[in-house]
Structure 1
Amino acid sequence: MDPMPMANESAMKMKMSFYWGKDAIVLFSNWPNHSLGMYILAIFFVFVLAILSELVSNQPALKRGTNPLLAGLYKAVFHLFHISFSYLVMLAVMSFNLGIFIAAVAGHTLGFFISKYYRHIDQANTDDRNGSSHINHKV
């Protein structure tokens, strides 16, 4: 018995190995639609999504005495955005387009750097305000 034909077989013809080129389907059917400008926009979009995913994964610390319900909601909202952005990036990478893959990796890397850099700077400023610098000055 022959398998049942798909209603839209042309939409199902995706490449299953990495390839270069603007002829990709990223997140939505007919996007970027073989257009170089839209392909560049797709790369930029995935890059920004990956950065945002890393930035929201590092939640700021909550102040002592914060209402537990509000703290839980606050963390849940950050988690919602982190997971949403991460899944969108994963789905975009599943297009197997190398440009999209490189944009995702570069975005995650830059986002990680930015979030860790600012967290380190914030921690150093907190240590300076509290007078507990990690640097010993010898005279």
Structure 2
Amino acid sequence: MEKRYTHMTFFWGTNSEILFTMWPGTRRGMYGLALIVVFLMAFFVELLSCRRIARLGRQRPRLLAALFQTAVHALRVGLAYLLMLALMSFNVGVLIVAIAGSTAGFLLFHSSVFHGVEPCAEAIPVKQ
């Protein structure tokens, strides 16, 4: 049996294991693919955090809407946990792309830069 060493401090390098044994391994192309996957996971966590996504099911009967919202929540939590596990590889490249993916998702889905108002916030009626 071969002993493998798991990093317990942050390190730079393409020789890493992210989420699965021997993935991405020692190949730079696979490491690049792993970074893209981590970026997309962080981006989609921000997308699924958007309240508008959860409100898409409101037009359906109440039970179906609740099931849809629950499925969106479960998907968001699952992706967030996978992202956390990827970050536990202690690879600095993974950390950087996770932050970049979350930042890009926040910019597109939660900030008012592209929409003039907060795109994911629900309109709160103002009582007079």
Normalising to structure 2: TM-score of the pair? 0.80
Q: From 10, 27, 30, give the equivalent of 1:35.
A: 27
Q: CA deviation at 1:50?
A: 0.5
Q: Distance in 1 between matches of 2:39 and 2:59?
A: 37
User: Structure 1 residue 107 and structure 2 residue 98: aligned?
Assistant: no
Are the equivalent residues in 1 in contact too, given 2:19–2:85 (CA < 8 A)?
yes
User: Structure 1 residue 78 and structure 2 residue 72: aligned?
Assistant: yes
Match of 2:3 in 1: 10
Q: Distance in 2 between matches of 1:27 and 1:104?
A: 14
Instruction: State how 1:1-139 maps to structure 2 within 5 Å.
Output: 10-11=3-4, 13-60=5-52, 61-62=55-56, 66-117=60-111, 121=115
Match of 2:126 in 1: none
- Runs of 5+ unmatched residues, structure 2: 120-128
Match of 1:5 in 2: none
> In the TM superposition, what whole-angstrom CA distance separates every residue of 1:60-119 from its partner, at most 9, and x where no partner exists?
13576642211211110110110111111100000000000101111011111111247x
* Aligned residue pairs, count: 117
Are the equivalent residues in 2 in contact too, given 1:27–1:91 (CA < 8 A)?
yes
Q: Distance in 2 between matches of 1:81 and 1:94?
A: 20
RMSD: 2.6
Runs of 4+ in 1 over 4 A off after TM superposition: 62-66, 122-125
Q: Distance in 1 between matches of 2:59 and 2:98?
A: 38
Are the equivalent residues in 1 in contact too, given 2:57–2:64 (CA < 8 A)?
no
- Runs of 5+ unmatched residues, structure 1: 1-7, 126-139
Q: Could you say if the C-alpha distance between residues 94 and 71 of structure 1 is closer, same or farther in structure 2, counting changes exceeding 3 Å? A: same
Normalising to structure 1: TM-score of the pair? 0.74
> In the TM superposition, what whole-angstrom CA distance separates every residue of 1:19-64 from its partner, at most 9, and x where no partner exists?
0000110000000111111001100110011001110111313576
Q: Could you say if the C-alpha distance between residues 21 and 59 of structure 1 is closer, same or farther in structure 2, counting changes exceeding 3 Å? A: same
Tell me which structure has the larger Cα radius of gyration.
1
Q: Percent identity, please.
A: 38
Please tell me the residue identity of whatever aligns with 1:85.
Answer: L
Q: Could you say if the C-alpha distance between residues 63 and 73 of structure 1 is closer, same or farther in structure 2, counting changes exceeding 3 Å? A: closer
Write 1 or 2 for the structure with the bigger share of strand: 2
